[in-house]
Amino acid sequence: MENTHGNMYKSILLTSQDKSHAVIQRSLQKHNIESCQPDVFQLVQLLSERKELTIPDSANVYYSTNTTANFDFVLRWRTRES
């Protein structure tokens, strides 16, 4: 989830089998907001200040990430177009 009051970092260990839905669900648990539905969020990798990569819903996160960029991710509220 985006944090407008500073930086909040949580680490999640990924395996080569993890799909984005499971990663979002674990992220919500790490932030103690597991009551939220994972379907209303999308997983986004921050590539630079101006670029980001939205990980598709059914994607294997391990293989979908851009390995040339930092492994910085955020959960974003899903928009209607997503």
The enclosing domain of 63 has a CATH number of 3.10.20.90
pLDDT on residue 79: 81
Residue 8 pLDDT class (50, 70, 90 cuts):
low
> Residue 42 has what pLDDT?
96
Report the half-sphere exposure of 41 (CA within 13 A, side-chain side): 23
pLDDT value, residue 64: 94
Whether residue 15 lies inside any domain: the answer is no
State the total domains in the chain: 1
Q: Output the pLDDT for position 45.
A: 95
pLDDT confidence of residue 6:
59
**21 Cβ partners below 8 Å, 6+ apart?**
38, 39, 57, 58
The pair of three-digit structure tokens given for residue 22, joined into one six-digit string: 């499971």
The pLDDT score that the predictor gives to residue 12 is: 86
Asked if the structure places residue 62 within a domain, the reply is yes
Q: What is the pLDDT of residues 23-75, one digit of tens each?
A: 999 999 988 888 889 999 999 999 998 999 999 989 999 999 999 998 899 99
**For residue 64, what are the domain limits?**
20-77
